[in-house]
Amino acid sequence: MYRVLIIDDEPMIVESLEQTLREEKQWELTIYQAFNVYDALDCMGQNRVDIVLSDIRMPGMSGIELHQRIKSSWPRCRFIFVTGYNEFHYARDAIRTGGVVDYVLKNEDSGVIVEAVRKAIAELDELEDRSSYLHHVQGKLHVALAALRKDTMFELMRSLPADPVVVKGKLEAAEIGLTPSEPLLVAIGRLDPLDADWSEADWELLMFACQNIAEEYLDPTIVHATVQYSRHQFIWFMQSKGEADSHAWKHLASRAYDIMEAVQETCRR
């Protein structure tokens, strides 16, 4: 379902545009009306709007200014300018900023309006497909990166290359922010079984959630890398963030202990 907002200070135009869209049974549309820019902003403050059909010239704020306001709040929203004047040059700047699908005259055939809405819906569908694909790829990347980090850390623990440049290169390739020349604090985390009937997918999801919680607590003050090395266990490799000195190292363990206590309580909840 797509949500459409029609804005014009002439109620007859608003009603006509709504009737035109209502007659199109190919789309499931929720249609809102606004007879001034302030009602339009109020509507968009309370509802998600996907497509806006707006007059260019209105009292209080032009359609161009309204487009800029809406774009900052709803960047995916698609705009169609509807006007009684042949003012393409007036809309050109807005079209260049993105999000404006078309520019049509009020006296044009209703088919032109329908075609403009069709273009807007096609762009929104494409955005949705692209977004879904991106989430899919990011999920695959997370899994691949976790495996790469595990292999890298285990390889370095088994046989640390003598050349620190080589070590640094391996860490960077796995997007691990640890500094090769500094000591590491190592901690082991274990997720105790809560329910013997949990599926493998349940365990994976819980492990992933607990690691994310730990990362949120650690990120502000501690550089870290996490490796899952069994079904219920993972290892944190930690270093102080900022200047590496004896003072920072001395307090790293106590800070990490306090953080892990908070992590444990959050994971338990």
Q: What tens-digit pLDDT sequence spans the chain (269 residues)?
A: 788 999 988 899 899 889 988 888 888 888 999 998 888 888 887 777 889 998 877 777 777 778 878 777 777 788 888 876 665 566 555 565 556 777 777 777 888 888 888 888 888 888 776 656 566 666 666 667 778 888 888 888 888 888 889 999 999 888 888 988 888 899 998 888 666 677 777 777 788 888 888 888 888 888 888 888 887 888 989 988 766 666 667 778 877 887 888 888 888 87
128: burial class by Cβ within 10 Å (0-12, 13-18, 19+)? Answer: exposed
Report pTM: 0.49
Q: Cβ of 204: how many Cβ atoms within 10 Å?
A: 12
In the chain, where the domains are located: 2-131, 177-268
- 2-7: strand order across its sheet: 29-34, 2-7, 51-55, 78-83, 100-105
Check residue 33 and give its pLDDT.
Answer: 92
**At 191, phi and psi to the nearest 5?**
-100, 110
Cα gap 81→65, rounded to integer Å: 12
Residue from 141, 138, 149 nearest 234 by CA: 149
Check residue 97 and give its pLDDT.
Answer: 57
Q: Which fold has domain 177-268?
A: Alpha-Beta Plaits (3.30.70)
Query: What is the bridge-based pairing of β-strands 222-228 and 233-240?
Result: antiparallel
Check residue 32 and give its pLDDT.
Answer: 92
> Which residues, in sequence order, are bridge partners of residue 33?
6
| Cα 77 → chain centroid | 16
Domain 2-131: assigned CATH number = 3.40.50.2300
